[in-house]
Every structure is written in C-alpha cells, then in structure tokens.
Structure 1
C-alpha cells in the first residue's frame, strides 16, 4: 500500500508558515512531510534512510539497497534543521559542523541533493 502523498498546495503553505516563524505542530509536520516527499521524488532510491523524528522517514538516493535491519547509511536530524536544509536556509556543512545532523555510512552526505530545487 502506497503512502498518501502530501498535497503540494498544503505542503508549500506549511513550509511558508514555518519559514515565517510558525511553530504549530501541524505546520511543522506538514512542512517536514512535504519536503521529505520532495526529497524522495528528487533522489529516489533505497541507499540512505533519512529520518526526521517524530514526523517522518524516507529511503532515498540510488545505489545498493538494504533489505533487513538497520540500514548502513542513516541521516537523522530535527524538524527545523531539515526544513532549513531542504529550503536552503542553511547548508549541509553548516548544519553538520554545528552538530545538527547525525550521519553514518559512506553515502550519508546529502549535500549534493540539498537544497531542493524548488526552493
């Protein structure tokens, strides 16, 4: 069963709301899920697991895929860091150096995929 997709109009509105300073749970959750969906579309694959707890996780980036257990390439960060990275408000290097990103595995550097093109 396929995951339901976030409506682009609602997702964009949530991102704009968070960028304007909203910390409402529905706005943050909507923005995170929409941007994860965009990342999945932009970098399809199963090589990296990108986690943004508590709102979502995806597998992305082409390459070898794992089938069981903890994936070898895992990236995890908080919601506001993900939104800032995906929209270009902060670079991968800045967020990583500040300790905002936990990344393990040889393919876990997502700097070439971020920010997402539409932002």
Structure 2
C-alpha cells in the first residue's frame, strides 16, 4: 500500500493543478518552472493577479490554494500567536511572537480579501497603501506586517508599487 500523502504534498498538488487551470484560462501554456513549493506558489499567485488585472475572474481553486499556502508560509516563517491574519473565506493563521491568547479575539487582527492578500505577499502592492486604502483592516500593536511582506521579492527586483485608488480588489 502506498503511503498517504502529507498535508504539504496535498497542498502542493492542489496548487499545481490550480496553477495550470489558471494559466489555461489566461491562454498561457502550463507551468514549466521548477516543481518546488515556493516557485509554484509564486507563479500561481502572479497568474491569478494577472487574470484579475486582465478583467477575468481569477480561478477560485487557484485563489483558495494561494491564500491557504501563503498563510501557512507566513505562519511557518513567523511563528507565534500574537497576531491573527484572516483572509475570508479561505483561512486564518496565528503568527508573530508575543502574548499568547487562548479565547476570543486575539490582541492583534489583520483581515483582508483574497486578492489584496495575494498582491501583498508577492509585492504587487505595499502594506501602507493597502491599509490607507482600507483594503486591509489592522488592529493591535503587532498588526503591522510591513516588515514581513512581501513573502518573496518581485521577479524584476523592483519594490512593491503604490496602490492605484482605481484598482479595487
């Protein structure tokens, strides 16, 4: 009997499938880069943002896979329970070192929509602009994620762009 895939393997398989489906919806060839978690995740995030910018509805499984994987990556890189990051309806994680809470609303909460979150984690928009434009709700003393986002540098090495007020997610 074959061993049961781990949660990380299942997430990666879902992400690969979602990436190829999103690329197909964009009329692009399937992903041919390295089959490693970070490059696949980054490529999927960028593909769904490209679909959104092109006036297409991003592929829902791609959005779900990207949000869940990037939240897991954030929690793995910055463990703790001082801040809860919520991206409804797809997920929430606790991260950052600090006071631990066990019930009710944590001392710090960040909440945003899936496309804004995706743009933040890949450096398409800045934390400050997203908060100022009310696309991110952040409360609590540890609710500033500007030091930990984006999760990956932009491919061209440029800093995140300022948000365009007309670009609503």
Show the counterpart of 2:23.
none
The TM-score normalised by the length of structure 1 is: 0.88
Shift in Å at residue 65 of structure 1? 0.9
Show the counterpart of 1:33.
68
Show the counterpart of 2:164.
none
Q: Alpha-carbon deviations, 1:37-70, whole Å to 9, x = none? A: 1111111111100000000000001111101111
Show the counterpart of 2:48.
18
Show the counterpart of 1:94.
129
Q: Tell me the C-alpha RMSD between the 2 structures.
A: 1.8
Aligned pair partner of 2:94 in 59, 62, 65: 59
Larger Rg: 2
The TM-score normalised by the length of structure 2 is: 0.64
Show the counterpart of 1:4.
7
The number of residue pairs the alignment matches comes to 117
Task: With a CA cutoff of 8 Å and minimum separation of 6, indicate the structure with the bigger relative contact order.
Answer: 1
Tell me, yes or no, if the aligned pair for 1:12 and 1:34 is still in contact at 8 Å. Answer: no
Tell me, yes or no, if the aligned pair for 1:52 and 1:78 is still in contact at 8 Å. Answer: yes
Tell me, yes or no, if the aligned pair for 2:80 and 2:98 is still in contact at 8 Å. Answer: yes
Q: Answer with 93-102 or 33-42: which moved more.
A: 33-42
Structure 1: unaligned runs, 5 residues or longer: none
Structure 2: unaligned runs, 5 residues or longer: 1-5, 13-36, 53-57, 155-169
